[in-house]
Amino acid sequence: MRYAETGVNLEVDLSRGSVERVKTDPELTRLHLGGQGTAAKILWDRVPPEVDPLDPENLLIFSTGLLHSTLVPGANRTAVDTFSPQTGRYSHSLFGGFFGPEMKYAGYDKFIFCGKADDLVYVWVNNDKVEIRDAGHLRGKGAQETALILKEEVGDPHAQVASIGLAGENRVYLASIEHANSSASRGVGVVMGDKRIKAIIVRGTKDVNVAQPKELAEIGIPMYKEMYDNKECGDSMAHGEGDEFHVDNFAWGNARARRKNFFSKEMEEEWVSLEDRLRMRWTGCHNCPKDCHQAIKYPGRMPYFQKCYSKLTYAMGAFGDLDFDYNIIGITQEYGMDAYSTPQVIAFAIELYEAGILTDKELPDFPLFDREDSDGIKVNESRFFYLVEKIARREGIGDILANGVYAAARQIGNGAEEYDHNTIKKFEQVPIKLNYVNYPYFLMYATGEKMNITQIEGSFPQAPIADKAEREEFVRNWDAAPERFKKWFLAWEPRQNPSLEASVHICDWNEAMHYIDDAIGTCAFLSSFRGQFGGRPPYHIYNLPAFITRASGIELDSDELWEVSRRNRNLVRALNIRRGLRRADEKPPADHWKKREPENEQKLLDMYYEFKGWNNDGIPTRETLDRLGLDYVSEDFIQRGILVEGEDDLS
Amino acid sequence: MVTVEDCSKKRIVKEIKVDLDKCIGCRACEMACSGFHAVPKFSSTNPARSRIRVIVEDRKDVYVPVRAGDYTPAECNGRNTYVINGKEYSECSFCTASCPARDLFKAPDSGLPLRCDMCADDPTLPVPMCVQVCRSDTLTYVEREEESREEVTYDEVESGLESLANRYGIDKVADLVARISRTKS
């Protein structure tokens, strides 16, 4: 019997219209645990670099995490993995809610889609029964509108739906996949649209078994209370407290300027009262006691769920206000557009217009700015509404902007490239502009492959503690941290960088925890993202092995768990190396920090690569790959001339 | 329902109060319930086997945890819609029955009806599992003492007699009833 997992993947070939249930190799679960890890293995085996992301041969994989549907609270994040047409490289996104758990109850660890349907379809997975159905009647429908129609259509209110809106249908690169209270972005929505999948609806009524029932319940059941009582986990910034942090520290407009001390007491009062009026309820994801999502009813809009920083991304991009943000998300979520990158693309276009690079010819009937704000800055809310419509429909200039800032800047030309200042590896980054280079963050931005800093940072605190006694107290209770980090944190003074050596380890630990979460399905807000504020994540490297072993029967300790994350991390790196990623690509946005230390930054990269067992160009060496059991990768690298046999460590 | 009075005595009434406003829709109650009732205990989870289900219509802000009650062989011949605080609820959202109109509260394989037993166990749990994991306090457990008239329903009498009849034959049972009724009257 397979424990925690089902041992079955669902393969759907949309070109042939065929469906197959395929048994998986338990050895792969032992090596990668599941989720992103096993998805990376499938992408490696089946999607060679010659395949363009918009070729039918590209795969779109929905993965449950190993711990989904067990009594381990907060394991519900579904991973979506593919190759992105925006970056040409590996694309990975996670969404919360209820979809992955339902997949498992239907009897599947993964849904693997290949090929392309002739026209829009939806896939109905009802336990063993799987149908590819025509979705002509859903064309142009909103993502949640689609979910409601489909639940009605299949007659099952308990079914879970993942769908795309207009943006995905139109192959907008910024398209998201929407589900219940969550969404996946960063290149996965466009591939779903390209495969002509409007929606997937799943319903499952099968058991998911665990290996050590009593022992798992003993540690699983108390976690509900522990997590609920722990105020430093979940989206602790969602409940109002995060507004000041984001408003004062993140950059406005086209990722330009910080407005320190912009947030005021009056704003806070006004915002809290607005949210109280708009919010129907706080809600959570499957089997998790935290309530990180607001159900919002904005007048005239379909009710939607707001999470994380999206309540400010549009407002700050447009120099607008909170009401505007809640208003426009009502549209963009139905269109299925990523709330991080979309506002940046639009703010970029508005700057081009102001600079005369885009004109009324490209933007016919482009609205005037709405008003000037208290600092005399132009507010661009109407322009945002205008451009959202153009992009979602790929209409006029929207057809270019829909490719993201990097590609659009080059297509528009005429100096537009200068305005693309906040992308790396062709992808929009969180708009943060700071003063002095931060060593661990330099490494995370440069070498991370999850494309958004929030998916890379998170275990080591963002800032030191000034007071020595407080610092010591913090370290004393820091169960989540390996010993070496306690020493480094104790030595860390304000306005200093941790040492180069410490920074290398910090980057490694931070990303390791994300690779673990993304394999087992636990939410970053309970684990990999949450240590950086307060240092008390409910899940960490020391207590996770027991949950994994008792649920799945896979025996492993903390070191072995870290080794799995290393394996998955190197396999993901290999996917991108095979598609051309090299050291030259590994840099933060040029203006992310005003004051840089080029020499130390290169030293950091050297040290990090060496620590990771990568050569000077950032390519995992044969020795590293073979030690991790990825010898099929090193063989491929040698065959392709990416590594040279015998001298790979020197190249 | 027509009842036959037996005798009066005190009994403990176990009750789970449900505060719909507090529900975050996480469905932890379903997980804990299905785990607890798995054989062996906690060996599997499956919301479809849970004796508590959260009825969710997220765009209408409807979140209603419902515990499995009795089996009924027929569906309602008319259903009400309730509007509470401006929100529309179908009567089914509050109904505890395992009935032919929906797939709630039926074991997925056998189709046999499921019924909440308040986690009756040996020893009895101080608080049912669903309440234990409900941290938002949507579900709270209350025990109170109540004067009660122990009731025997005709349904139970009838099914008891029927099984006796099946086992010993209707004639024997009829003779027995006649004899007893003579001594009692």
Per-residue DSSP letters for B17-47?
Answer: EE-GGG-----HHHHHHHHHTSSSTTSEE-G
Q: What's the average model confidence in pLDDT over A475-500?
A: 97
CA distance to partner chain B, nearest, from residue A210 (Å): 6
pLDDT attached to residue A422: 98
Coil, strand or helix: which one is A158?
Answer: coil
What's the rounded Cα separation, in Å, for the pair A630 and B161? 71
Q: Which CATH number fits domain A438-639: 3.50.50.60, 2.60.120.330, 1.10.599.10, 3.90.1150.10?
A: 1.10.599.10
CA distance to partner chain A, nearest, from residue B160 (Å): 35
Q: Render pLDDT for A504-534 as a digit per residue (tens, 0 to 9).
A: 999 999 999 999 999 999 999 999 999 999 9
User: What percent of chain A has pLDDT above 70?
Assistant: 99
Q: What's the average model confidence in pLDDT over A239-254?
A: 88
Q: What's the average model confidence in pLDDT over A219-236?
A: 95
pLDDT attached to residue A390: 98
Residues linked to residue A283 through DSSP beta bridges, in sequence order: A293
Q: pLDDT class for A651, splitting at 50, 70, 90? A: very low
Residues linked to residue A307 through DSSP beta bridges, in sequence order: A293
A208/B32 CB distance under 8 A: no
pLDDT attached to residue B1: 45
Q: Render pLDDT for A348-402 as a digit per residue (tens, 0 to 9).
A: 999 999 999 999 999 999 999 999 998 999 999 999 999 999 999 999 999 999 9
Q: Taking CB atoms and an 8 Å cutoff, what residues of chain B touch A216?
A: 42
A180/B58 CB distance under 8 A: yes
Q: Where do the H-state alpha helices sit in A33-83? A: 35-46
pLDDT attached to residue A650: 45
User: pLDDT at residue A622 above 70?
Assistant: yes
Q: pLDDT class for A309, splitting at 50, 70, 90? A: confident
B87 touches chain A (CB under 8 A): no
Tell me how many degrees the CA angle A62-A66-A72 measures, rounded to the nearest 5: 120
Q: What's the average model confidence in pLDDT over B13-23?
A: 95
Residues of chain A with CATH 1.10.569.10: 239-428
Question: What architecture does CATH give domain A8-203?
Answer: 4-Layer Sandwich (3.60)
Which residue of A5, A127, A182, A210 is the best one to mutate when testing the B interface, meaning the one whose CB has the most B CBs within 10 A?
A210
Q: Which of B138, B102, B116 is nearest to B27 (CA)?
A: B138
Q: pLDDT class for A648, splitting at 50, 70, 90? A: low
Q: Taking CB atoms and an 8 Å cutoff, what residues of chain B touch A285?
A: 26
Q: pLDDT class for B181, splitting at 50, 70, 90? A: confident
Q: What's the average model confidence in pLDDT over B120-149?
A: 91
User: pLDDT at residue A567 above 80?
Assistant: yes
**Comparison of pLDDT for B177 and A465, the residue scoring more:** A465
CA distance to partner chain A, nearest, from residue B11 (Å): 31
The dihedral sign for the CA sequence B132, B137, B138, B141: positive
User: What percent of chain B has pLDDT above 90?
Assistant: 59
B24/A283 CB distance under 8 A: yes
Q: Which of A405, A427, A433, A415 is nearest to A348 (CA)?
A: A405
Q: Render pLDDT for A340-350 as a digit per residue (tens, 0 to 9).
A: 999 999 999 99
Q: Render pLDDT for A170-201 as a digit per residue (tens, 0 to 9).
A: 999 999 999 999 999 999 999 999 999 999 99
pLDDT attached to residue B185: 61
The number of C-beta contacts closer than 8 angstroms across A and B is 111
Q: Which fold has domain A239-428?
A: 1.10.569
pLDDT attached to residue B18: 97
Residues of chain A with CATH 1.10.599.10: 438-639
What's the rounded Cα separation, in Å, for the pair A101 and A92? 19
pLDDT attached to residue B170: 87
Kindly report the average pLDDT of chain B as a whole number. 89
**Comparison of pLDDT for B178 and A560, the residue scoring more:** A560
Residues of chain A with CATH 3.60.9.10: 8-203
Q: What's the average model confidence in pLDDT over B152-169?
A: 77
The one-letter amino acid code at A307 reads K
Q: Which of A23-27, A646-650, B82-86 has the lowest mean pLDDT?
A: A646-650
Per-residue DSSP letters for A252-301?
Answer: PTTT----TT---HHHHHHHHHHHHHHEEEEE--TT-----EEEE--TTS
pLDDT attached to residue B10: 84
**Comparison of pLDDT for B120 and A102, the residue scoring more:** A102
User: pLDDT at residue A439 above 80?
Assistant: yes
CA distance to partner chain B, nearest, from residue A205 (Å): 5
B9 touches chain A (CB under 8 A): no
Q: Taking CB atoms and an 8 Å cutoff, what residues of chain A touch B63?
A: 281, 283
Distances (CA, A) of A309 to A75, A76, A102, A189: 21, 20, 27, 20
Task: Note whether ipTM > 0.90 here.
Answer: yes
Kindly report the average pLDDT of chain A as a whole number. 96
Assess contact for A335 and A167: CB atoms under 8 A. yes
What's the rounded Cα separation, in Å, for the pair A448 and A455? 9
What's the rounded Cα separation, in Å, for the pair A387 and A12? 35
B24/A282 CB distance under 8 A: yes
CB contacts under 8 A, B 102-161 vs A, are: 103, 108, 132-133, 135-136
What's the rounded Cα separation, in Å, for the pair B67 and A184? 33
Q: Taking CB atoms and an 8 Å cutoff, what residues of chain B touch A288?
A: 26, 28
pLDDT attached to residue B177: 83
Q: Render pLDDT for A88-146 as a digit per residue (tens, 0 to 9).
A: 999 999 999 999 999 999 999 999 999 999 999 999 999 999 999 999 999 999 999 99
* Length of chain B as a residue count: 185
User: pLDDT at residue A450 above 50?
Assistant: yes
